[in-house]
Amino acid sequence: MKIQSFKFNERGLNRFFGPLEAKIMDILWSGEKSIKDVQQELEKEKATNFNTVMTVMNRLVEKGMLTKRPEGRTSFFRPVLTREEFLNTQSKEMTQELVDEFGSVAVSHMIEALDEADEALVAQLEQKIKEWKKDR
Amino acid sequence: MKIQSFKFNERGLNRFFGPLEAKIMDILWSGEKSIKDVQQELEKEKATNFNTVMTVMNRLVEKGMLTKRPEGRTSFFRPVLTREEFLNTQSKEMTQELVDEFGSVAVSHMIEALDEADEALVAQLEQKIKEWKKDR
DNA sequence: TCCTTGCATTACCCATTGTAGTGTTTAAAC
DNA sequence: GTTTAAACACTACAATGGGTAATGCAAGGA
């Protein structure tokens, strides 16, 4: 299942996940782990129930975000996409949707957004356009 | 209250609102209307309970999307922003968030998205960059 | 006075997310 | 081989957001 909602209010992974989900994804992007591993990691910051972690992790599997690899009695979980792949995918989809939905209005806003953000990004964009023209 | 979530799956206003909310906003963007006006408009397509419409409209007021103007026993509702203002605002916020969140990755995706969308948009973007450079 | 109209209050349903109790399986320890 | 504890399954509940609607009140007109 795909991510289907982007929250303006939040930051980082919390834009795509609930807060606990986000923490779990983050932990699993540091390597394959069992439920207990994750729970202990979370415990460092705040008392966390094992079953809570299990439930959320299993839901993430159902959503297609994690894979579950049983090994004996214990299962090990791993994100389907790397963090980079994930963010890349999301960014791409978002951008596509933005242009589909808003067309030329979005284009104006892109420049404005880049303007406030970083001069180097505009240069990069310019370069991209150059390449794009070559392929025509 | 601001819109705080953008749904990839949906189209148009349904990206920002629930389906009934979206229809109501749409109707109100054609002019100030009472609950009954809106309900009758909705009724044309599908049986619609008056109170359902009322509840949703009042929620839209709470969210800051509509203003309510009492006149005698009847209240009249009007969107706070015009459709154009609303879409413009959303597009701007989305774009800003995108750049904030993904930086240069987003830039690449912008071009790709434009590529698939429309050649004219790339030209527009190029023009925007030119203007941007002038202001430096 | 009584009925109709407009609205307020309140509620229930469903989905998502965070939370956690209870029950079951099974490997390992005794 | 029976007990125990770890891992897990199953289930449920709360909060939130959105769609739905019943009930009840208030005020104006017949």
Are residues A22 and A12 in contact, defined by beta-carbon separation less than 8 angstroms?
A: yes
Answer whether residue B2 is part of any domain.
no
- Residue B68 and residue B105 in one domain: no
Q: What residues contact residue B96 under an 8 Å CB cut-off, 6+ apart?
A: A109, A112, A113, A116
Token match 């941007």: residue? Answer: B132
Is the pLDDT assigned to residue A135 strictly greater than 80? no
| Judgement on whether residues B114 and B87 belong to the same structural domain of the protein | yes
Say whether the CB atom of A58 is under 7 angstroms from strand D.
yes
Mean of pLDDT values over A92-118: 81
How does pLDDT run across A9-21, given as a tens digit for each residue?
Answer: 888 899 999 999 9
> Residue B80: phi, psi to the nearest 5?
-65, -40
Q: Are residues B67 and B112 in the same domain?
A: no
Q: In this structure, are A63 and A29 located in the same domain?
A: yes
Check residue B105 and give its pLDDT: 84
Kindly state whether A85 is in contact with chain B, defined as any CB-CB distance less than 8 angstroms.
no
Cβ-based contacts (< 7 Å) between B 36-55 and strand C: 36, 50-51, 54-55
For residue B7, is it within any domain?
Answer: no
A26-59: per-residue pLDDT in tens?
999 999 999 999 999 999 999 999 999 999 999 9
Residues A69, A128 within the same domain:
no
Q: What Rg do the C-alpha atoms of chain A give, in angstroms?
A: 19
Is residue A16 domain-shared with residue A61, that is, in the same domain?
Answer: yes
Confidence of residue A133 (pLDDT cuts 50, 70, 90): confident
CA distance B102 to A121: 11
- CATH number for the domain harbouring residue A37: 1.10.10.10
> What is the number of residues in chain A?
136
- Interface check for A70 against chain B (CB to CB < 8 A): the answer is no
How would residue A130 be classed by pLDDT, with cut points 50, 70 and 90?
confident
- Predicted local confidence at residue B67, as pLDDT: 93
Which ipTM value was assigned to this complex?
0.80
Q: Report the distance separating Cα A16 and Cα B32, nearest Å.
A: 36
- Domain end among B79, B94, B110: B79
pLDDT value of position B35: 93
Q: Judge whether B3 lies within some domain.
A: no
Rounded Cα gap, residues B34 and B50, in angstroms:
11
In this structure, the answer to whether residues A87 and A50 fall within a common structural domain is no
**Domain range spanning residue B30?**
12-79
Domain assignment present for A7:
no
Backbone torsions φ then ψ of B34, nearest 5 degrees: -85, 170
State the total domains in chain B: 2
**Is B104 within a domain?**
yes
Contacts of A106 in chain B (CB under 8 A): 91, 94-95
* Phi-psi domain of B64 (left: phi exceeds 0; alpha: psi -120 through 50; beta: other): left
Chain B residues whose CB is inside 8 A of the A15 CB are 97, 101
| Angstrom distance (rounded) from CA A23 to CA A63 | 16
Cα–Cα distance for residue pair B30/B38, rounded to 1 Å: 11
Confidence of residue B50 (pLDDT cuts 50, 70, 90): very high
Q: What is the DSSP letter of A32?
A: -
Mean pLDDT of chain A: 88
A120/A31 Cα distance (integer angstroms) = 33
* Residue B128 belongs to a domain: yes
Residues B87 and B102 in one domain: yes
Residues paired with residue B34 on neighbouring β-strands, in sequence order: B76
Contact A128, A114 (CB under 8 A): no
pLDDT at B52 over 90: yes
pLDDT bin (cut points 50, 70, 90) of residue B116 is low
Mean pLDDT, to the nearest integer, of A68-93?
91
pLDDT band at B15 (very low <50, low <70, confident <90, very high): very high
List Cβ neighbours of A50 (8 Å cut-off, separation of 6 or more): A35, A36, A39
